[in-house]
C-alpha cells in the first residue's frame, strides 16, 4: 500500500510557507496531493483553476506531487483518492488548537485517516495567504512570500 497524503487548503495563493511544508513532507509520503478545497464560506481572490495551475507550475516534473480541486468533506475526498493521511502546517500554537479540532472531527468521521502536523520553518511563520492577498490588492511587492511560478504569473 502506498502512502498517499492529502494536503488540503484554499491556497489563495499558494505561498512559500505551503511549499516548505510540501517539500519537507516528501520524505514521509509516496505521493502528496495538494487539494484545493472549495469552501462556500470563503470568497477567494483567485479561481480554483488558477491555483491548480500554480501547483503544476511549482512542481512541473514531479510524479509525487499533484494538485486537485475538491468540494465537500476532506475525509470523503481522502477516500476518493486513496489517501490515509492528511497533512497540515502549523505556524503558531493557535493554529494547532484549531487544526487539532478539525483532526479530531476527521478521525471521528473516518478513523483510518491520520492527520500529520508539520511546523513551518521560522522564516515562513509570518507568511499567510491573507497577508499576501492584501499586499497584492494594494499593489505591493509580494515576491518575498511567493514561489517564482506564482509571482511570475501575477506579473503577467
- Name the residues annotated as catalytic: 18, 42, 91, 129
**Farthest CA pair distance, the chain:** 47
Q: Does residue 99 have a known ligand-binding role?
A: yes
Q: Does residue 15 have a known ligand-binding role?
A: no
Q: Does residue 93 have a known ligand-binding role?
A: no
Q: Does residue 96 have a known ligand-binding role?
A: no
Q: Does residue 18 have a known ligand-binding role?
A: yes
Task: Please name the helix (run of DSSP H) or strand (run of DSSP E) that holds residue 75, with its range, or none.
Answer: helix 74-81
Does a cis peptide bond (omega within 30 degrees of 0) precede residue 124? no
Q: Does residue 40 have a known ligand-binding role?
A: no
Q: Does residue 41 have a known ligand-binding role?
A: no
* DSSP SS3 for 52: helix
Nearest to 74 by CA among 84, 65, 64: 84
Is-contact 98 92, C-beta < 8 A? no
Sign of the Cα pseudo-torsion (98, 104, 107, 109, in order): negative
Nearest to 45 by CA among 71, 87, 10, 81: 10
Q: Does residue 124 have a known ligand-binding role?
A: yes
Binding positions for substrate: 10, 42, 74, 88
Binding positions: 10-11, 18, 42, 74, 88-91, 99, 124-130
Binding positions for ATP: 10-11, 18, 89-91, 99, 124-130
Amino acid at each position: 500500500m502506498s502512502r498517499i497524503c492529502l494536503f488540503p487548503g484554499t491556497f489563495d495563493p499558494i505561498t512559500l510557507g505551503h511549499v516548505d511544508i510540501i517539500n519537507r513532507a516528501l520524505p514521509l509520503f509516496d505521493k502528496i496531493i495538494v487539494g484545493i478545497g472549495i469552501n462556500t464560506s470563503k470568497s477567494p481572490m483567485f479561481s480554483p483553476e488558477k491555483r491548480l495551475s500554480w501547483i503544476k507550475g511549482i512542481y512541473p516534473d514531479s510524479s509525487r506531487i499533484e494538485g486537485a480541486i475538491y468540494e465537500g468533506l476532506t475525509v470523503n475526498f481522502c477516500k476518493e483518492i486513496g489517501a490515509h493521511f492528511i497533512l497540515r502546517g502549523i505556524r503558531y500554537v493557535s493554529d494547532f488548537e484549531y487544526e487539532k479540532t478539525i483532526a479530531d472531527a476527521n478521525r471521528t468521521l473516518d478513523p483510518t485517516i491520520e492527520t500529520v502536523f508539520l511546523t513551518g520553518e521560522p522564516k515562513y511563520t509570518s507568511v499567510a495567504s491573507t497577508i499576501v492577498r492584501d499586499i497584492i490588492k494594494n499593489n505591493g511587492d509580494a515576491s518575498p512570500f511567493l514561489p517564482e511560478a506564482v509571482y511570475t504569473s501575477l506579473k503577467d
